[in-house]
């Protein structure tokens, strides 16, 4: 099966680009002297994770127990479940531990630590718990200087629960777009997490692991003193948000949605595509960035961005491709002329590939990827769905 014969819409992974992204990140981690634990929530795909592990990744990060179960079944043992544990999920987590999965849980508050402690006492399961640290005010975690950091540590120690380490995620890096700002946030993330570990050690608690990461800070970090491992997810495919953040180029984006032109509104300059928001997702992550790509950047079938056009709108199964008036130079050519008839430019049946705003969200709309290798051959790679 070749690309032009594939049913549309379809999610295409450009395997050479993906391999390049994986190699680049792994090399950067080697240079920094830390382990790398990729976050597999981006793809939820066994073939992708095998490529990450083959390149040198040590363990994986997951966002759901379903991912943990599926990847353990596929042979991955060392798994960090990086969302604060809901006590009612402990039984399901225990089942994984009992099968031999080295599942690590995360807590960021005394109530959850107490619940884990009580569960461990009742069930005798040897959970390893990591404490989530908040280094940028983005979401979850305990700030390094907070008293409750030590309180959580003591609760776990008193319940004989192994503390694996501390972990943080500087998710606010997605809001930045200069190398200096990214490097500064990477240092803030590192320093805050190392400081939290030190405070726990200062009261006599074991805290071996220091885990940091987001794709932008991982790539921007210059040194990671005191850090033992880095986590990142979207780097494996990249997307338009990451392009705007400044950590990849168009040519690094390994995910695209294959689509077909099914209609036009010539007066408005619209081509109607069979990729709407069900295919692209509703993610509009570039809407607050310097360059807004609408629902995505159209490319030719060979993956070359088409200057002057974007996916300006989306209904469930209809996408609207339209010209943009202003040329910002990024795609290297002039704005679309008013004299172009959209029906001639993109006739019915034209196949295009759309680069997505957010690879994690777009991938989740599809039951499978079509992996496109260097020879143009396609292979189906399935992905998980649900919890």
Interface residues with its own copies (CB under 8 A) are 5, 7-10, 41, 63-64, 83-89, 92, 108-109, 111-112, 115, 134, 137, 139-140, 171, 260, 262-265, 268, 272, 274, 277-279, 281-284, 315-318, 320, 343, 347-349, 358, 360-361, 364-368, 385-387
Q: Is the CB of 37 or the CB of 264 nearer to its own copies?
A: 264
Name the burial class of residue 87, with classes exposed (0-12), middle (13-18) and buried (19+) by CB atoms within 10 angstroms of its CB.
middle
By residue count, the chain amounts to: 387
The CA distances from residue 103 to 61, 99, 117, 169, 177, in Å, are 10, 10, 16, 19, 35
Question: To the nearest whole angstrom, how small is the minimum distance from the Cβ of residue 223 to its own copies?
Answer: 27
Compute the distance between CA of residue 138 and CA of residue 146 in angstroms, rounded to an integer.
16
Question: To the nearest whole angstrom, how small is the minimum distance from the Cβ of residue 131 to its own copies?
Answer: 12
Q: Is the CB of 50 or the CB of 343 nearer to its own copies?
A: 343
Q: Is the CB of 84 or the CB of 246 nearer to its own copies?
A: 84
Compute the distance between CA of residue 98 and CA of residue 78 in angstroms, rounded to an integer.
14
Are 255 and 11 within 8 A, CB to CB? yes
Q: Is the CB of 141 or the CB of 323 nearer to its own copies?
A: 141
Question: To the nearest whole angstrom, how small is the minimum distance from the Cβ of residue 104 to its own copies?
Answer: 16
Tokens at 7, concatenated: 């049913």
Place of tokens 């604060």: 84
CA atoms within 13 A on the CB side of 94: 15
Q: Is the CB of 126 or the CB of 348 nearer to its own copies?
A: 348
Question: To the nearest whole angstrom, how small is the minimum distance from the Cβ of residue 51 to its own copies?
Answer: 21
Peptide bond into 203 cis (omega under 30): no
Question: To the nearest whole angstrom, how small is the minimum distance from the Cβ of residue 60 to its own copies?
Answer: 15
Q: Is the CB of 19 or the CB of 146 nearer to its own copies?
A: 146
Question: To the nearest whole angstrom, how small is the minimum distance from the Cβ of residue 222 to its own copies?
Answer: 26
Rg, C-alpha atoms of the chain: 22
Q: Is the CB of 36 or the CB of 346 nearer to its own copies?
A: 346
Compute the distance between CA of residue 371 and CA of residue 130 in angstroms, rounded to an integer.
35
Q: Is the CB of 30 or the CB of 92 nearer to its own copies?
A: 92
Cβ neighbours of 232 (radius 10 Å): 24
Question: To the nearest whole angstrom, how small is the minimum distance from the Cβ of residue 93 to its own copies?
Answer: 12
Question: To the nearest whole angstrom, how small is the minimum distance from the Cβ of residue 63 to its own copies?
Answer: 4
Task: Map residue 165 onto helix, strand or coil.
Answer: strand
The residue among 84, 87, 86, 176 whose CA lies nearest residue 134 is 84
Q: Which residues pair with 255 in a beta bridge?
A: 13
Q: Is the CB of 201 or the CB of 268 nearer to its own copies?
A: 268
Angle at 240 between CA 239 and CA 241, to 5 degrees: 95
Compute the distance between CA of residue 17 and CA of residue 370 in angstroms, rounded to an integer.
14
Q: Is the CB of 228 or the CB of 260 nearer to its own copies?
A: 260
The residue among 230, 232, 236 whose CA lies nearest residue 36 is 230
Place of tokens 């819409």: 9
Question: To the nearest whole angstrom, how small is the minimum distance from the Cβ of residue 58 to its own copies?
Answer: 22
Question: To the nearest whole angstrom, how small is the minimum distance from the Cβ of residue 382 to its own copies?
Answer: 10
Compute the distance between CA of residue 263 and CA of residue 270 in angstroms, rounded to an integer.
8
Compute the distance between CA of residue 257 and CA of residue 11 in angstroms, rounded to an integer.
5
């Amino acid at each position: 099966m070749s690309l032009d014969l594939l049913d549309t819409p379809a999610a295409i992974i450009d395997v050479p680009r993906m391999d390049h992204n994986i190699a680049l990140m792994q090399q950067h981690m080697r240079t920094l002297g830390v382990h790398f634990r990729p976050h597999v929530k981006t793809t939820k795909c066994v073939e992708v994770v095998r490529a990450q592990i083959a390149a040198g990744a040590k363990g994986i990060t997951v966002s759901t127990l379903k991912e943990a179960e599926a990847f353990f079944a596929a042979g991955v043992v060392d798994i960090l479940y990086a969302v604060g544990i809901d006590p009612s999920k402990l039984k399901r987590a225990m089942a994984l531990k009992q099968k031999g999965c080295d599942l690590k849980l995360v807590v960021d508050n005394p109530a959850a630590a107490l619940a884990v402690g009580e569960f461990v006492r009742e069930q005798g399961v040897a959970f390893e718990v990591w404490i989530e640290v908040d280094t940028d005010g983005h979401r979850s975690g305990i700030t390094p200087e907070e008293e409750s950091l030590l309180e959580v540590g003591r609760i776990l120690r008193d319940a004989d629960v192994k503390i694996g380490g501390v972990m943080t995620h500087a998710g606010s890096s997605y809001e930045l777009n200069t190398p200096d700002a990214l490097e500064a946030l990477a240092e803030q993330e590192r320093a805050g997490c190392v400081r939290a570990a030190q405070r726990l050690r200062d009261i006599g608690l074991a805290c071996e692991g220091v885990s940091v990461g987001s794709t932008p800070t991982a790539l921007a970090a210059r040194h990671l003193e005191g850090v033992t491992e880095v986590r990142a997810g979207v780097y494996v495919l990249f997307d338009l948000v990451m392009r705007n953040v400044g950590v990849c180029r168009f040519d690094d984006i390994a995910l695209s949605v294959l689509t077909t032109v099914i209609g036009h509104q010539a007066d408005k300059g619209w081509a109607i595509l069979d990729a709407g928001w069900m295919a692209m997702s509703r993610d509009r992550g570039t809407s607050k960035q310097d360059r807004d790509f609408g629902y995505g950047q159209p490319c030719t079938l060979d993956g070359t961005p088409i200057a002057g056009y974007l996916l300006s709108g989306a209904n469930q199964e209809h996408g609207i491709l339209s010209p943009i008036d202003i040329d910002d130079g990024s795609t290297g050519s002039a704005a679309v002329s008013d004299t172009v008839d959209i029906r001639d430019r993109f006739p019915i049946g034209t196949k295009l590939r759309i680069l997505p705003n957010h690879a994690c969200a777009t991938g989740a709309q599809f039951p499978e990827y079509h992996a496109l290798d260097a020879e143009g051959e396609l292979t189906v790679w399935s992905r998980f769905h649900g919890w």
